[in-house]
């Protein structure tokens, strides 16, 4: 099922070490480093936020002007999460 409300897998761990933030997938033994934008997107991949809501929250948190296009960036980050296998809805998210 394709959705625009991404949902992270419940067994994926988020760990802060120093100034770095990591996702750890214990089932695969994979570790992924997140930048601040990806962290904000990850935290909203709860099955409740739409891609549009995630984009709006990015704009607010990073004070991005409305005329700057962000939607494709949100889709790209969510698709990367999908490809890494850390989302529970494993199909590529519709834009």
Going from N- to C-terminal start, the domains of the chain cover 13-84
CATH 1.10.287 fits 13-84, yes or no: no
Q: How far apart are the first and last CA of the chain?
A: 14
pLDDT tens column, 31-88:
999 999 999 999 999 999 999 999 999 999 999 999 999 999 999 999 999 999 999 8
Predicted confidence (pLDDT) at residue 91 exceeds the cutoff of 60: no
* pLDDT the model gives residue 93: 58
1 falls in which pLDDT band (50, 70, 90)? very low
* pLDDT the model gives residue 3: 64
Predicted confidence (pLDDT) at residue 92 exceeds the cutoff of 70: no
């Amino acid at each position: 099922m394709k959705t625009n409300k991404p949902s992270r897998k419940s067994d994926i761990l988020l760990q802060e070490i120093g100034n770095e933030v990591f996702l750890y997938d214990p089932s695969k033994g994979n570790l992924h480093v997140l930048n601040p934008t990806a962290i904000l997107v990850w935290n909203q991949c709860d099955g409740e936020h739409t891609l549009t809501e995630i984009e709006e929250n990015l704009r607010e948190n990073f004070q991005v002007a409305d005329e700057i296009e962000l939607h494709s960036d949100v889709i790209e980050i969510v698709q990367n999460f999908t490809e890494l296998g850390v989302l529970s809805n494993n199909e590529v998210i519709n834009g």
